[in-house]
Structure 1
Amino acid sequence: MTDALLPWRAEFPILETCTYLVSHSLGAMPREARTQATRFLDAWDTRGVRAWSEGWWQTSRETGDMLAPLLGVPAGSVTMVQNVSVAQSVIVSGLDFTGPRRRIVTPRLDFPTNHYVFEGWRRHGADVVYVESPDGLTQPAEAWRPLIDDRTALVCCSLVLFRSSSITDVAPILERARAVGAPVVLDVYQATGTIPLNLTALGVEFAVGGSVKWLCGGPGAGYLYVRPDVAATLAPAATGWAAHARPFDFETGAIVYADGGERFASGTPNVAAWTIAQAGYRIVNAIGVGAIRDKSLRQTRRILEHARARGWRLRTPDEDARRGGTVTIDVPDSARVAADLIARDVIIDHRPNAGIRMAPHFYTTDEEIDHALAVMDEVTANHR
């Protein structure tokens, strides 16, 4: 069959050196990323401090606005930050844990950084409550309902779970949270760039994520979305001079918050990382996430069927509507199998209590998938 997305392969040099099936962890680097890095370095080299007023200071807004269509949110509502830990810290620092609403509800299967940030707020009065999973793979909506009530200050929900690639049915969770007046932060790290999103339609108050994975944007380019009508009501304690309404007046004392997305900035902008991330954003926007999702479902199905035929244990949902862009396969001695695959230039990764994570992206060929699975056949046979 003709694959209309494969011409984009030429933009990713690493694909010529190995079978790269790890975009759920670190997306391949676009050629333009090097150009973007040089653009930043040239400005620093030739313009020096003048670069701040000639574009650097606007990098967060410029980069966030490139990301906004992929999230389905308006321009000006996405703030670039260093990573999700920073984004979650900004959100939770704007909440009040001295009143009756002290509860943070988050899934046990969430990425650990969310747990670490929220647990730190226990010292300020927060009560962190975990939604347990019945199978270690999914977070059914019915498990959330009894934990979200009028004591809830924040609900955190990952749209796609990082170990299993299971998609959470967020609609009932959002409905319950709205009924009790609790805001929701949706972690879309494992979704953005491979699953179409419309956060405006969902109505979530917050969303967080990063560019390392499906966006092919590299590290250091996290993002925070705050719904525009919510933004002006928050006064985050985790802040910095870039969030001031008049940062270059260097006013001392309490901060006067900026309007819009700048309100949630912190210190000196991470100009280099955000400039580099734009290369991946341009490509994903040009292709369209709908086309990426269609190909992803077809190719992850190819992996699932091969694994099932071999009797390998699957740790990812079979149904298309419940599966993100990754397939997790748990075979005996999976950590060593993963190491052997990588040694043979089949680049995947391994997670404890999950198994081998394998993820095609828009630049992956069917032949690469078949090769990776053939190598896995050989490696697993050697480990019997």
Structure 2
Amino acid sequence: MTPLEFRETVPALESDAYLNWGAGGPSPRRVVDAANASLEHHEYSAPTDEGMYPAAFEVYDEARAAVASLLGATVEEIALTDSTTDGINRVAGAIDWGEDDIVVRTDLEHSAGILPWQRLEREHGLDVRVLETEGGRLDLEAVKSAVDGATLVCVSSLTWTHGTRLPVEKVVDVARDAGALVLVDAVQAPGQVPVDVREWGADVVVGAGHKWLCGPFGSGFLYVRDGVVDERDLVPPAIGYRSVVDENAVEYRYETGARRFEIATASPAPYAGLTAAVSCLEDVGVETVADRIRALTDRLKSGLSEERLLSPRSFESGLVTIAVDDPEATVERLAAQGIVVRSLPRPEAIRASVHAFNSRGDVDALLEALRG
């Protein structure tokens, strides 16, 4: 399947120029059909067939396998969550925090990578160190200074503010030397660029299917490196039958790896959709998607002046930040012309997210509208 053939299967792309994939990716019919079919089977057939719980568990298993393949992980290292924010909170709640603990994050994090640490700072008195950046760039020397004595480092793989790629592997090396746990917010990466968690070396990677993967809302996932649960004594703040080895045992025992972060009953529909979304990506080809995003992004940037382009001129991702006088008014004006982008709280700008499933016409329409 080519990217443009994929585009033909996404009803939301039939009219408007949708350039907001970094916020949410509209699903193709195949994904929605898979989610609907899963729900119908679960509610109509499974009760008197294999049973509702076995039917759901089979979908969970398939989704974990799909995510593991996508990230270069093992199935045992994957847990299913609701979202990126949900995944970060599950990990944040699994550490026994105290006043002597230190969390290091960048000033480029999404609220998902800010609010959980603010809450812990307020409730447990831990120290949250914020690495200041410029133009979406992270100074490794500043990282080395900040991680001294740190418990955890939270960093995004692709910044939602500038579309820059942060040097995750180097941050991991620095943090590991300091004895810190590394959590990577990777939600902007899967479905846009190839991801290999082994290359990153991070302890925890969080993501979700509802952006570049074009999966449903509610299809989050969490990678927990094999062995890190025991190394860091990670005990989830919540417990349920999916997080323990035997729910009927006299003394409960958590699952040994990532599965301890799953809790209880969840609809199988989002995860059936996630599995279908990963399959769609594989049908198009991860490298094909990445190459086309690069080409379309370069086309967009070539039409923007140095004053307007706040993202790097050279390609790093399909997230392109553009300076405008009134971001919110500009978003509304573009929407009236059938062009969907979003405004950013920082920097004061709009952001266009270019996917492989966009057309040259979408990019040209945005450029023309910005000139008007």
Give the drift of 1:108: 1.5
Which position in structure 1 is the counterpart of 2:93? Answer: 93
Matched-pair contact (CA < 8 Å) for 2:105–2:155: yes
Matched-pair contact (CA < 8 Å) for 2:36–2:269: no
Amino acid at match of 1:238: P
CA distance in 2, matches of 1:51, 1:336: 52
Q: Give the alignment's TM-score, normalised by structure 1.
A: 0.89
Matched-pair contact (CA < 8 Å) for 1:221–1:277: yes
Q: Using a 3 Å threshold, how does the CA distance of structure 1 residues 39 and 160 change in structure 2: closer, same or farther?
A: same
User: Residue 272 of structure 2: which of 268, 272, 275 is its match?
Assistant: 275
Q: Give ranges in structure 2 of 5+ residues lacking alignment.
A: none
After TM superposition, the structure 1 = structure 2 runs for residues 29-178 of structure 1, keeping only pairs within 5 Å, are 29-43=27-41, 44-48=43-47, 51-98=51-98, 100=100, 102-122=101-121, 123-135=123-135, 137-149=136-148, 151-178=149-176
After TM superposition, the structure 1 = structure 2 runs for residues 8-23 of structure 1, keeping only pairs within 5 Å, are 8-23=6-21
Residues 248-300 of structure 1 show CA distances to partners (whole Å, capped at 9, x for unaligned) of x2x57x74102333221123224222122222111112223222111111111
CA distance in 2, matches of 1:95, 1:53: 30
Give the drift of 1:195: 1.4
CA distance in 2, matches of 1:262, 1:220: 17
CA distance in 1, matches of 2:210, 2:139: 27
CA distance in 1, matches of 2:33, 2:157: 33
CA distance in 1, matches of 2:208, 2:296: 24
Which position in structure 1 is the counterpart of 2:353? Answer: 359
Give the drift of 1:232: 4.2
Give the drift of 1:4: 4.3
Which position in structure 2 is the counterpart of 1:257? Answer: 254
Amino acid at match of 1:280: A
User: Residue 328 of structure 1: which of 321, 326, 331 is its match?
Assistant: 321
Matched-pair contact (CA < 8 Å) for 1:235–1:257: no
CA distance in 2, matches of 1:352, 1:87: 23
CA distance in 1, matches of 2:167, 2:320: 18
Which position in structure 2 is the counterpart of 1:369? Answer: 363
Which position in structure 2 is the counterpart of 1:191? Answer: 189
CA distance in 1, matches of 2:182, 2:114: 15
CA distance in 1, matches of 2:192, 2:202: 19
Count of aligned pairs: 366
Which position in structure 2 is the counterpart of 1:381? Answer: none
User: Residue 345 of structure 1: which of 328, 331, 338 is its match?
Assistant: 338
Matched-pair contact (CA < 8 Å) for 2:169–2:199: no
After TM superposition, the structure 1 = structure 2 runs for residues 188-267 of structure 1, keeping only pairs within 5 Å, are 188-233=186-231, 234-241=233-240, 242-247=242-247, 249=248, 255-267=252-264
Matched-pair contact (CA < 8 Å) for 1:88–1:114: yes
Q: Using a 3 Å threshold, how does the CA distance of structure 1 residues 70 and 37 change in structure 2: closer, same or farther?
A: closer
Q: Using a 3 Å threshold, how does the CA distance of structure 1 residues 350 and 51 change in structure 2: closer, same or farther?
A: farther
Q: Using a 3 Å threshold, how does the CA distance of structure 1 residues 286 and 259 change in structure 2: closer, same or farther?
A: farther
Percentage identity across aligned positions?
24
Matched-pair contact (CA < 8 Å) for 1:61–1:80: no
Q: Give the alignment's TM-score, normalised by structure 2.
A: 0.92
Range 355-364 or range 264-273, more displaced: 264-273
Give the drift of 1:170: 2.1
Aligned Cα root-mean-square deviation (Å): 2.1
Give the drift of 1:134: 3.2
Q: Give ranges in structure 1 of 5+ residues lacking alignment.
A: 379-384
Range 265-274 or range 185-194, more displaced: 265-274
Give the drift of 1:362: 1.7
Matched-pair contact (CA < 8 Å) for 2:91–2:236: no
Amino acid at match of 1:365: S
CA distance in 2, matches of 1:353, 1:202: 27
